[in-house]
Structure 1
Amino acid sequence: MGFNRPSKIQENALPLMLAEPPQNLIAQSQSGTGKTAAFVLAMLSHVEPTNRYPQCLCLSPTYELALQTGKVIEQMGKFYPELKLAYAVRGNKLERGQKISEQIVIGTPGTVLDWCAKLRFIDPKKIKVFVLDEADVMIATQGYQDQSIRIQRMLPRNCQMLLFSATFEDSVWNFAQKVVPEPNIIKLKREEETLDTIKQYYVLCNNREEKFQALCNLYGAITIAQAIIFCHTRKTASWLAAELSREGHQVALLSGEMVVEQRAAVIERFREGKEKVLVTTNVCARGIDVEQVSVVINFDLPVDKDGNPDNETYLHRIGRTGRFGKRGLAVNMVDSKHSMNILNRIQEHFNKKIERLDTDDLDEIEKIAN
């Protein structure tokens, strides 16, 4: 798969996850550090392919992340032909009364709970490894916390519990303690270090149209790889995608009201490089891992529902570039006093200077592009 050495989280977590008897683990590591490969390896190591029933269960907060983890399982397990994978996600309808023969099940909490409790497709007592991915999102997502705990309570006592989270607030910690008995704990590097490989800039504009113009100027200079552009609302996202298409750019649009299959198709096309630019709302800020993304543009700065800077989302958004320590570029569009204030607060939070960029100065853009 092109790994020549383990990343830090892999180096720390794998010996624990593969130890006999199995150890429980709570691990914190930024997105883009290889944690999916780590827990997939643990699942593949503990599975008995000759037994035709679910033995490993992985919970993901979204359909997209479940698919992405599934891809990693298929890639890493490709020399394990008898190993099969089932997706417990909305819309995957099975006949009532059937049992599942796949050894690994990956899905979202609501559907997994139905499959275990109501429909009895899965016998939870036979699960050996239970993985909770992106625990911080799980906890923040309405109802997921409760469903995850209910699923965990059906599992056997000796089931190995692996909980991964990009952040470690108290809420994650309290939740983890309810779910994971006697855990080993790995806490890795502070978020600031993630930002060392990402150059951050901001561009001053007066309105949406000027932001668009700045974007076109930038785009002329930075067509090196692929870019993700984040907008605050679906409305802005669809307006921007339409404007960019009109300028002749190959653009993909991803937003929350699309059905899961549409979303998956859009991401797939972007991953294959059919579109160079992905315009999206926050739905995509986490976990979407496309290697060629070298530029992230915040068309709107991330704010929470009260209009305060959403530092967490900022980090996740710009973390779509600079994966695995590669260099990346983040450009923030600022169009008012208010958004300048937000930017300043983000700078303070991460204690990292965000430089001003003049998009009318082509030399300057060339310079940052290189």
Structure 2
Amino acid sequence: MTPPITELTDRARDVFRVVVESYLESGAPVGSRTISRLSGLNLSPASIRNVMQDLEEYGLLAAPHTSAGRMPTESGLRLFVDGMMQSHEPTQEERAAIEARAGEAGPIEDALAATTSVLSGLSACAGLVLVPKREPVLKQFGFVPLSDDKALAVLVGDDGSVENRVVELPPGMGPSALNEAANYLSATLAGLTLAQAQLRLGQEIARGRAELDAAARALVERGLAIWSEDGGARPVLIVRGQARLIDTGDADDLDRVRQLLDELEGKQAIAELLGSAREGDAARIFIGSENKLFALSGSSVIAKPVRALDGRVVGVVGVIGPTRLNYARVVPMVDFTAATIARLLA
């Protein structure tokens, strides 16, 4: 069982810190001679080896090969992150880069994707953001016939976004009725959200003001319902920077990276993982096998809830990378990005 940090001697904590920080920087096991040269602990290599042996027996360090080098276990990384890590706040340049991409004009999804790309680049990880699908303010509608019983419904939002859905046509729905439905939607419901449009349509029908025949009315109701249900049920998950996970200089790591890239294809599972980080205020850190989704690739996920001004959670932002990522630098960067996205979604 992993001991609490308070049960380690000062010497053990010092050696453990040096091993972990050196490993996170280099990705290579750390030997006693390296520690004696870098740490300024004033301990002989033999004394350091004894301490490292104790730390290995605690389950905090492991020797991947028969060499004297040690690296932290997942339990050791967890102990370090929870009890010893000293965070490094993002630099002014890093903050400016994140804020600049978040402030770009255009659809909200484009700004989120740009912000996530910056986070990926700065952290050398894949960037992730999960937000509810924002209801567009409606601007224009159109229907394109696909067959006798199906059409492509096209919705244009006032932010320039375009979305398509395939809808089933009521019996007897010809091209003229499709045009009638599209013109009615554009003229009557423009400037409203989907929820407002559904409410307005119900009121118009109840008052007998909906100038539509039965087939066109059924199509309009069906189209609005599909958009609303689909948007509410599927949050937007943006993944950027997968290529940054590939370190061609580390051939031993390629199998892990391939496994991770395969896992990233399962976006629904990733969305569920990020969703589990919605509770609480602080960033959550999942290290290796602590999370079943990425257990095979031995990856870590740092995720932070995005909160609106009223305290509501409106999304989750995070990164995924190898377990040896720079937690002290990346965690504050994720925190800052979450705050930036919160302002973007306000």
**TM class by shorter-chain length?**
under 0.3
Larger Rg: 2
TM-score between the two structures when normalised by the length of structure 1: 0.20
TM-score between the two structures when normalised by the length of structure 2: 0.21
